[in-house]
Structure 1
Amino acid sequence: MVAETQLEPPLLDSSLGLSSTSRPQSPSTRQFLPEASIVLIGSRGAGKRTLGFIGATHLGRRLITEDHYFQATTGVSRGGFLQQHGTRAFYRRNIEVLKQMLDQHRSGCIIECGMGSLSSPAHKALREYSKTNPVIYITRARHRIRSLLRLGDDEALRLEAADLSHRACSNLEYYNLYDPCCDGIDTPPENGLGNVSSRLKYVKEDFCYFLDFLTGQGLIRNSFESPFSIAALPPECRSHTYALSLRLSTIPDLDLVELEAGADAVQLKIDIWDPDLQTVIAKQVATIRRKLGVPIIFHVEDYALNDLSLSVEQKQTAYFELLECGLRFGVEYIVVDLRYPSDLIAHIVDCSGPTKVIGHHLAKEENSWEWNDESYMIQYRRAKSLRCDMVRFVRATSKASDNDAVESFVAKIKSIPDHLPIIAYNLGENGRLSLIANQIFTPVTHPLMRSTVSKAQIRQFLPTAAEALQALYQSSILDPLHFYHLGAIVFYSLSPVMHAAAYRVCGMNNDFQSLEVSSLEDIRQLCQDPNFGGAAITQPFKVQILSHIAAKSYHAKAIGAVNTLLPLRMLPNNKFPDGSIQSLLDHANQRGKAGPVTGYYGDNTDFIGILTCLRRNISPRNVVQPSKTTGLVIGAGGMARAAVYAMIQLGCRKIFIYNRTVEHAEVVASHFNSWAAGLSKDGKVVHVLRSILDDWPAGFRQPTIITSCVPARSIGDEPAANFEMPIQWLGSPTGGIVVELSYLPLETPLIKQIRLFREETKQAWVIVNGLEVLPEQAIAQFELMTGRKAPKRRMRLEVQQHYRRYE
């Protein structure tokens, strides 16, 4: 296939290591219509088809593959056409079909291009298409492509050289990072209905996040979030956010998983030169996203290009080419130095798309402008006129008095109407107080980096995120607060160990304890404490407490149950909470402060734990199709409500609920059928199953999503449900996913049954136990309660380490 393109290996350019044929174009914009079709191009073996299938199912779009389209258009496969008509005719027809495919599918699709994209006419068509649509170049580790395609050295080199040409006709780039869960399953069959493993967890999460950012779907989804959710407000709009400072040169020496420490972003500093720098950066961007899961601030250091013997003009060109690379990788923020010409900065802003631009000014010499110099205001106004999204000023100093000066400067900026978010601090040991006082993206390090990274490679004066938060407690900017898990029976709760561990990692002076309560009055008395920070509410109070809450999240209203209670306090200027979004946002930025409680806000994170695990584990073969997919929920309590809501959020419109007490199931069904009446043609989304002896209802497919929300052991006077699925309800030919919310014991009767059933039938049933769901809802709860990014890995580890004491 490579030989057909007749492409010669490109010559290297002297500035950035980009070839004359592979240097990315500089698009005028990366803003696309919401439904603009997305094109995937790249080498064989890069994983385009798998990613296309994942993306199409995630966005609810049609997947178009070039091979399938060629056969549908010509009536014969590409290989068959080549054999019948010869190389020249195949070449011409291939280009015609590619252009026709692109032209006829400009919206609502994900298009996977085959090797036909390597020819020059195809490049021209794709470049033209990229003016209105995203064209994503999919890359992958070369040795993995060689291994997957079983290529010899010469053939691999020809393929790699030809593949580089894809950069020139794309406007975005995605590095398909190796996922140890997906060996041998890179290529689903042409119709997309193959038994692709459900364990593409990381690939699915990574690529879906990338698409959400690109298309704006993430923003749409976040608009439904609680004002207290950290997803509802970007980091620059929250109080005291931190950016873990990582140099590209140090990343290979670090285990990024160990660096999770409550930071809100990673500042990736490009500080080295490499002959294949784009690929190096692409891989590390992908690695940061997978291991840390936070936004990336892309910052090119001047000295990265110092060893290349370039002229000033060449360095400037190389600098902006590197910024273009950052935009291609879809980073959330990009730093642009304000000392460069305005027209070049304006161009970066114009083509930044969803990436936010931080105008940056660094004064390396202490004898440069003082903080009260008018030159800083001139630079601020210039950044605003260039349409930067925020501005950052950094100044070297040896004087502690400059910390007061920078605070005065920030106050001056904030007094300007509609001012840009501002980051400002001093460098050096004497600037530490200014770092603590800075409120947006304060650069921080990590304790492990101090022992594993050369002192010459990190700024030793940087605090860790935990140290920065500790300083806020010491200065009484933040107050220690009390958090609880409240319910009739909470002896088995793992919430205290998860939350307490998260407080320690993040440097927070809070405490968390489980308390048994017998009434709503007990809850009210505890929550009137001025140092009350929030509570996890469990049965039997999740529904009862609704009548005592001043304001509820969209999700809590829809579910009809609350599992997270947050205090509302008097705002500055003696403002009472009025329930408006702005008022609630103001309260969200007051978290961490004690004071008289004037009301309560209710939310629900139970559904987040279920939804996260469903999205992560459901196989592409059983992806939710509203007109076909059937879900089943066992139980009728607060968790069952959350499970129904999670399925609705996934797009499932045919949900059945079974409960031993049929009347309770009918109450839940009635609630959701009233709330979701417009989501189904017949106005009914949730149906009640009356007996486990009944056959599965005629006219509905067998369930492929099953969630059990009943206890597997007796609690108090309540007998254990010990539920097992009726065999006549396990008839899905494609298997499905079973989520067991109970973890006492971990091996519930249902899990044992499904595991045995899977072995006997060889059907692809995926099992998710309660210990996978539990921390996901607690992670969301921690972030609601504190406004801080949760140390997810640590919280998950705490669950695994402590649950056995309850077995």
Structure 2
Amino acid sequence: MSAVTTQLEQASRHSSKSLEIRSHSPSTRQFPQNASIVLIGSRGSGKRSLGFIGARHLGRRLITEDHYFQEVAGLSRGAFLQRHGKREFYERSVEVLREMLDKHRSGCIIECGMGSLAKEAQRALFEYSKTNPVIYVTRGSQRIRKLLNLEEQEAARLEAGDLSHRNCSNLEYYNLYDQSCDDMTSSENGSPNVASRLKHAKEDFSGFLDFLTGQGVIRSGLESPFSIAALPPEFRSFTFALSIRLSSIPDLDLQELEAGADAVQLKIDAIHPDMQKFIGKQVATIRRKLAVPIIYHVEENVFQGSNLSTSEKQDLYFSLLEYGLRFCVEYIVVDLKYSSADVEQLVKHSGQTRVIAHHLSREQDSLGWDADYRMIQYRRAKSLGCDMIRFVQATSKESDNEAVRAFRAKIEAIPDHLPVIAYNLGDYGRPSLIENRIFTPVTHPIMQTTVSLSQVRQFLPTASEAMQTLYQKSILDPLHFYHLGASVFYSLSPAMHSAAYEVCGMKNDFHSLRVGSLEDIHRICQDSSKSYHAKAIGAANTLLPLRILPDGRPLDGSTKSLLRQANYRSKAGPVCAYYGDNTDWVGIITCLRRNVSPRNAVQPSKTTGLVIGAGGMARAAIYAMIQLGCRKVFLFNRTIENAKTVARHFNSWAKGLSNDGEIVRVLSSIDEEWPSDFESPTMILSCVPAMGVGTDGPANFEMPLRWLESPTGGVVMELAYLPLDTPLLRQIRRVRNETKKAWVIIDGLEVLPEQAIAQFELMTGRKAPKRRMRLEVLNNHHEYEAQGES
């Protein structure tokens, strides 16, 4: 008997549990944006740390059940139990939990302690889940056992009790182990670094909360129409979904699969004994390793070889879909072969998750792409509230590829039509796969050698192969990109971008071009339209050509007009204008978010930042700090007037963000004492060149020690990378060793790829192969450093 069959029979024996989960699902996952979020789960699951991270990220109050109990009852939980006994402690715990939930329905992150194991407490949490997010935080049982130093029997009791949290929650979060918790790590360029604890957990959980609350959508509204954050994959042209089976993930090194995919299609193809936790772990792993949206698809063959009845299969199918919704996957696929009532119920429960209606036609059952029933299914999916629809047909005829083109065109001619995915399966259908515009399923070369051939559809192209074919068919045009400046030949940008083009199968090229006068570039920037960020910063580092489009409609500067341009950016043609954006600040804010420790999390009323320099990079640094929530930024530059000009710009732009109307202040001298009315800086960014440019010599800047008196240390970021080991970084290492304060060093080689990644995505409209670009920097910086010194 196969393992899958055995597991399915186990699922069948426990079908009542699956049905219970399904029937107890909340009526909605749409919550008010400011609805309080509750975290429940076992000891050792990391609820307290995640609560702290979430409260800082969303700017909310953190309430912990233990602290609230002591505040209300006047005794700690342990002392109350000892004094009043188990029965009164139980009743008081439930009473306090109910009060805590009722009085804090908005604006909070609430972390529940072990009081959540009480049956009455779980009834209260279940009722609360009808209006608020209640997140069950899970973790690997072996990890919890190790953290709490539990014996096997005690660990089993803890895990059994913990599972009851699933029935009183509406969401689930698998808390992956974070290696940044170790005391010391090495940065990617090999230099020693002090770890900022939980940096990966912070990124993971912040992203989860952004999706849950809709904060990510609000942030993306500030992005330019050319940012892939501003335009979901279903509204971009020729996006790819890397197809991965759940059963094959343990055989894969997921970070090796990063190459041109805009999403991962996670195919649930087997039943696991601890299904929900297993799926949760794989969803969390994909998010951490690949950082792309997940399309959650329960395969039909998951039931093969089972003895389940038709109704049991249907119940199991929708229970498996419910698991996906609990984990806040970005997209979920529902098969239209099931009843409209079931599909409508799924849509009702979906929250922020977008629902893809799916219709598969087997070749022997198919009436062709022009059959009326396809349009009937399309109208049905739209009436049920689905967000997209996918039509797939198995074929052995090349003529079906022309038929699917005609079908797509028919749908796309409908006003306000649903985004449509349509292609043929099989070797003969490969051309239609490549010409499909949204979430074309692709594979990866590594998967063809590391997992069973039965788990990889051989007719699927890789993302690189699909891109190459699009260029061969002139659907996309090769483009030339240029890096302009006075000292660009010492830049690592061409190496990063060229490597990214190669791995993604793109025919573009990237060249450095030295210009005699930076005023020429400045003049072009002044004449171009600018993104929100470039306007706020007062500087642009990326110019995107705006072209005369085939439809002849004029470029009017509106968002709609720019969105049309964004979907045309992989085509050549006459340039009618330019659009300026800034990616320097993206590289800076990404690295700050990753490395600021929880102790130094940004607090508007307290946190102080310091920027050295007054050029374009310094402007980007100030803007990044403001975007993080810092409202006290000091600026030092050897030419004071330049610093004052920058300060005036930001203080004028940021009126209303600070109580006293002033966010950026100028330090007039390196001999100046740190202002006594302000905390010592915990974010310090050096934005001055470490090597000479033209007639200007290197800055060789070191900090006055009295500016480094933060008791909790902080982050020091050096934007220069030629040379990599600057006087400032050598100084901070000495100070760190002498004072034992937790100063985290970020050098230029960590920041540079993040800026280039954002630039690549702006210029191409495609997800950047981040790991490959970072690797290119590490492999080449010694050569470029030698050039800079010669």
Q: TM exceeds 0.5?
A: yes
Partner of 1:748: 726
Partner of 1:193: none
Q: Distance in 2 between matches of 1:217 and 1:148?
A: 33
Partner of 1:638: 616
Partner of 1:92: 91
1:61 maps to amino acid? R
1:623 shift after superposition: 0.8
Contact 1:261 1:465 in 2 (8 A): yes
Q: Distance in 2 between matches of 1:105 and 1:222?
A: 29
| Percent pairwise identity | 69
Partner of 2:115: 116
* Offset from partner CA, 1:277-333 (integer Å, 9 cap, x none): 111111100000000000000000122123331110000000000000000000000
Pair 1:691 & 2:669 matched = yes
Q: How does 1:505-520 map to 2 (within 5 A)?
A: 505-519=503-517
* Offset from partner CA, 1:59-99 (integer Å, 9 cap, x none): 00010011111111111110000011111111110101111
1:272 maps to amino acid? A
1:455 shift after superposition: 1.7
* Offset from partner CA, 1:470-520 (integer Å, 9 cap, x none): 111001011111001101111210000000000001000000011111236
In the alignment, which of 287, 299, 302 is matched to residue 300 of structure 2? Answer: 302
1:228 maps to amino acid? F
Pair 1:597 & 2:564 matched = no
Partner of 1:535: none
* Offset from partner CA, 1:159-207 (integer Å, 9 cap, x none): 000000000000000000111111589xxxxxxxxxx962322111100
Q: 1:13 to 1:309 in 2, by over 3 A?
A: closer
Partner of 1:724: 702
Q: Distance in 1 between matches of 2:214 and 2:456?
A: 35
* Offset from partner CA, 1:3-62 (integer Å, 9 cap, x none): xxxxxxxx9872559478877831110000000000000000000000000010000001
Pair 1:451 & 2:449 matched = yes
Pair 1:548 & 2:546 matched = no
Partner of 2:744: 766
Partner of 1:782: 760
Contact 1:25 1:171 in 2 (8 A): no
Partner of 2:261: 263
Contact 1:16 1:321 in 2 (8 A): no
Pair 1:407 & 2:405 matched = yes
Q: How does 1:125-140 map to 2 (within 5 A)?
A: 125-140=124-139
Q: 1:12 to 1:378 in 2, by over 3 A?
A: closer
Q: 1:760 to 1:333 in 2, by over 3 A?
A: same
Q: 1:544 to 1:598 in 2, by over 3 A?
A: closer
Q: How does 1:183-262 map to 2 (within 5 A)?
A: 183=182, 198-262=196-260
Q: Distance in 2 between matches of 1:295 and 1:20?
A: 28
**Structure 2: gaps spanning 5 or more residues:** 1-9, 185-193, 786-790
In the alignment, which of 588, 591, 598 is matched to residue 610 of structure 1? Answer: 588
Partner of 2:560: 582
TM-score (norm 1): 0.93
Q: Distance in 1 between matches of 2:88 and 2:452?
A: 60
Task: Give SS of 1:250's match.
Answer: helix
Contact 1:23 1:167 in 2 (8 A): no
Q: Distance in 1 between matches of 2:723 and 2:782?
A: 9
Q: Distance in 1 between matches of 2:197 and 2:702?
A: 25
Partner of 2:429: 431
* Offset from partner CA, 1:106-143 (integer Å, 9 cap, x none): 10000000111011101100000000100000000110
Partner of 2:187: none
Q: How does 1:146-161 map to 2 (within 5 A)?
A: 146-161=145-160
Task: Give SS of 1:446's match.
Answer: coil
Task: Give SS of 2:110's match.
Answer: strand
Q: Distance in 1 between matches of 2:619 and 2:238?
A: 35
* Offset from partner CA, 1:686-723 (integer Å, 9 cap, x none): 00000010101121111111100001222332111111
Q: 1:559 to 1:169 in 2, by over 3 A?
A: same
Partner of 2:541: 563
Contact 2:488 2:513 in 1 (8 A): yes
Task: Give SS of 1:577's match.
Answer: coil
Task: Give SS of 1:513's match.
Answer: strand
* Offset from partner CA, 1:594-633 (integer Å, 9 cap, x none): 1111110000000000000001100111111111111100
1:558 shift after superposition: 0.2
In the alignment, which of 645, 665, 668 is matched to residue 643 of structure 2? Answer: 665
Contact 2:584 2:617 in 1 (8 A): yes
Q: Distance in 2 between matches of 1:277 and 1:48?
A: 22
1:74 maps to amino acid? A
2:148 maps to amino acid? L
* Offset from partner CA, 1:641-694 (integer Å, 9 cap, x none): 000000000011111100000011011001101111111112111000000101
2:180 maps to amino acid? C
Partner of 1:417: 415
Q: 1:382 to 1:24 in 2, by over 3 A?
A: closer
Contact 1:12 1:18 in 2 (8 A): no
1:366 shift after superposition: 3.5
Task: Give SS of 1:600's match.
Answer: strand
Partner of 1:527: none
Task: Give SS of 1:565's match.
Answer: strand
* Offset from partner CA, 1:204-229 (integer Å, 9 cap, x none): 11000000000000000000001000
Q: Distance in 1 between matches of 2:83 and 2:197?
A: 41
1:729 maps to amino acid? W
Partner of 1:795: 773
Partner of 1:28: 27
**Structure 1: gaps spanning 5 or more residues:** 1-10, 186-195, 524-540
Task: Give SS of 1:799's match.
Answer: helix
Partner of 1:171: 170
Partner of 1:80: 79
Task: Give SS of 1:573's match.
Answer: coil
Q: Distance in 1 between matches of 2:468 and 2:300?
A: 33
**Bigger Cα displacement from structure 2, 321-330 vs 743-752:** 743-752
RMSD, matched Cα? 1.6
* Number of corresponding residues: 767
Contact 1:366 1:398 in 2 (8 A): no
In the alignment, which of 682, 690, 702 is matched to residue 712 of structure 1? Answer: 690
Task: Give SS of 1:307's match.
Answer: coil
Q: 1:125 to 1:620 in 2, by over 3 A?
A: same
Partner of 2:288: 290
1:494 maps to amino acid? L
1:606 maps to amino acid? D
Q: How does 1:10-21 map to 2 (within 5 A)?
A: 14-15=13-14, 18=17
1:592 shift after superposition: 0.9
Q: Distance in 1 between matches of 2:53 and 2:496?
A: 32
Q: Distance in 1 between matches of 2:318 and 2:607?
A: 48
1:721 maps to amino acid? A
* Offset from partner CA, 1:358-407 (integer Å, 9 cap, x none): 00001123442210100101111110110100000000000000000011
2:34 maps to amino acid? E
Q: Distance in 1 between matches of 2:433 and 2:444?
A: 15
1:81 maps to amino acid? F
Q: 1:673 to 1:596 in 2, by over 3 A?
A: same
